[in-house]
Amino acid sequence: MLGLGLGFNTLRPAIRSTSQVMADFIAGSYIGGTGPGILGLFDFSAAGSRNYINALGHLVTAAPGEPRSGHHEWLNGMWTPVGLLLEPSGTNKIAQAVANLTDWLVSGATFVAAADNFLGRFAGVVVTSGGETWHRARPSAEMAVVAGQTYSVTAFVKEGTSGRCRIAIRHEGLAAETHIRGEFGALETPTENAGTANVVHELAVPGGHMIYATYTALADGPVNVGIGPDSNVAGENITAYFLQFEEGHVPTSPILSAGAATSRAKDVLFISAETLSRHGGLDVIQNLTVHMAGQMSYPNLGEFSVLEFWNIYKDSGNRLGAKVDSVNGSGDLVVVHGVDGVMTYSGDASTWTPDMGVPFDIAASYSDTDMSVAEHGGFSTSKAVSGFPDLGGAAFVVAPDYPMTLSKLELRFGASGIDLAREMVA
């Protein structure tokens, strides 16, 4: 039985041709709820404010408990809606993240206040070289790092007269530095004396550049992060807007600290057990198909369950779900079916590559005899199972441990099978 508190079984139903729950997070269309809008269908929790980019390309703030359903990204030369932004909790360890003359200082360089409006939020400071490539500006406070721990670095800057950028991570305990430097669009990590670094993504947007990287500390101790024009020509410059330094292998949305390390709350989206029960009438038990599309960011950690798309979890032995494994060094789509402790997994070696903003379009289908999975433009497969889990009281939960944007979500009760899964991702 579907196990939504109904307490009885019935014969296998005819396949339903329409999904009872449908959410288009880009269009703002939600079907199957008790009222209009996203919160008429979903429950949502986030204990604090979080930032996202709106249609104007402005970085705006969502209040506690407010979904970031209007998130945009720079795609194909325009700010493009990508849906609902969901992220794990995080902390910007830089106490003065927004560049300014009061809380930042210079090493060799000079700086003056700019009057820009990058992302509708940042005025910036112009950092000018005094004639050495190491000259830079940085937040005055330092941060403690742990040997072997990986941190994500985000820098918002504007190309200046040097045409180059240097992000310098200095480990004061080692008196050594790691550099991310070079021409815009071709940054490299030629110096790694304070730990290893990797450029994850560079993005040119109106008014500036977004640079995303990772850094793995060589030793415990205090570090600081600075931005400079990477020029030995006195007078050449760059404009600095923002810095973020956070634990983890994947950069996340900006956390605007102002005097102390600042944290962001985790996003949790769910469809309540009551809503599932309302749609899971007596003629649709033992059948469920889920279709989900969007973008995800995840690292290559060589681990199982690196990112979970969704789950309906009553207990460890009775649950349904879909996830990404990176044990093969890429990204494998795996669906989960658990009945009374008997776990069945099915999936593939996907063509996904660990990165930021990886598109996905998947469907998973479950019955008491088989489960099926399909990926848009990719594989599809089925696997036999025995029985359907008792999921009474469990909600449908989306709470990823790495950033994800959802564009579509669809639940169809009373219908299952590989043909339906293929149809949904066609």
Could you tell me the two tokens for 285? 């038990």
Beta bridge partners of 40: none
Asked whether residue 14 is assigned to any structural domain, the reply reads no
Selection from 273, 281, 345 nearest residue 313 by Cα:
273
Shared domain for 190 and 75, answered yes or no, is no
3-class SS at 234?
Answer: coil
Domain end (from 215, 230, 264): 264
Structure tokens at 152: 């994500």
Amino acid letter for position 297: S
Q: How many angstroms separate the CA atoms of 137 and 229, rounded?
A: 10
Residue 164 lies in a domain: yes
Give all strands (DSSP E) within 76-113, no chain letters: 78-86, 90-92, 104-107, 110-113
Are 197 and 129 in the same domain? Answer: yes
Domain assignment of residue 5, yes or no: no
* Look-up of token digits 């995840």: 298
Q: Among 244, 264, 284, which residue terminates a domain?
A: 264
Residue at 15 is within a domain: no
Tens digit of pLDDT at every position of the chain (426 positions): 343 433 323 333 344 568 999 999 999 999 999 888 999 999 999 999 999 999 999 999 999 999 999 999 999 999 999 999 999 999 999 999 999 999 999 999 999 999 999 999 999 999 999 999 999 999 999 999 999 999 999 999 999 999 999 999 999 999 999 999 999 999 999 999 999 999 999 999 999 999 999 999 999 999 999 999 999 999 999 999 999 999 999 999 999 998 999 999 999 999 999 899 888 654 445 789 999 999 999 998 888 878 999 999 999 999 999 999 888 778 889 999 999 999 999 887 667 889 999 999 999 999 999 999 999 988 899 999 999 999 888 999 999 999 999 999 999 998 999 999 999 999
Handedness of CA 381, 418, 409, 315 (dihedral sign): negative
**Residue 355 burial by CB count (10 A; 0-12/13-18/19+): exposed, middle or buried?**
middle
How many domains is the chain built from?
A: 2
Say if residue 247 is in the same domain as residue 302. no
Has residue 288 been placed in a domain? yes
Strands 50-53 and 59-62: antiparallel
Element (H, E) at 313: strand 307-315
On whether both 252 and 274 belong to a single domain, the answer is no
Q: What is the CA radius of gyration of the chain?
A: 24
Residue 7 lies in a domain: no
CB 9 within 8 A of CB 1: yes
Residues 80 and 203 in one domain: no
Closest listed residue to residue 55, CA positions, set 251, 200, 156, 206: 206
Please report whether residue 281 resides in a domain: yes
Same domain, 167 and 260: yes
What CATH number does residue 157 fall under? Answer: 2.60.120.260
Q: Rounded to whole angstroms, how far apart are CA atoms 371 and 357? A: 28
Q: Could you say which of 264, 284, 300 is where a domain stops?
A: 264
Residue 167 shares a structural domain with residue 221: yes
State the sign of the Cα–Cα–Cα–Cα dihedral 208, 209, 210, 214: negative
The secondary structure of residue 87, as a DSSP letter, is -
Cβ atoms of residues 291 and 425 within 8 Å: yes
Q: Is 119 left (phi over 0), alpha (psi -120 to 50) or beta?
A: left
- Cross-strand pairs, 332: 325
Same domain (yes/no): 285, 239: no
Same domain? For 78 and 213 the reply is no
Query: What does the alpha-carbon distance between residue 350 and residue 378 come to, in Å, rounded to a whole number?
Result: 8
CB atoms within 10 A of CB 150: 19
- Whether 6 is in a domain gets the answer no
CATH code of residue 352:
2.60.120.200
403 and 294 share a domain?
A: yes
pTM of the model: 0.93
Separation between Cα atoms, residue 249 and residue 125, nearest integer Å: 28
Q: Which range of residues forms the domain containing residue 119?
A: 91-264
Please give the pLDDT value at position 11.
37
**DSSP code per residue over 386-415:** -S----TTPPEEE--SS-EEEEEEEEEET-
Same-domain status, 49 and 134: no
Q: Looking at the structure, tell me whether residues 274 and 420 fall in a common domain.
A: yes
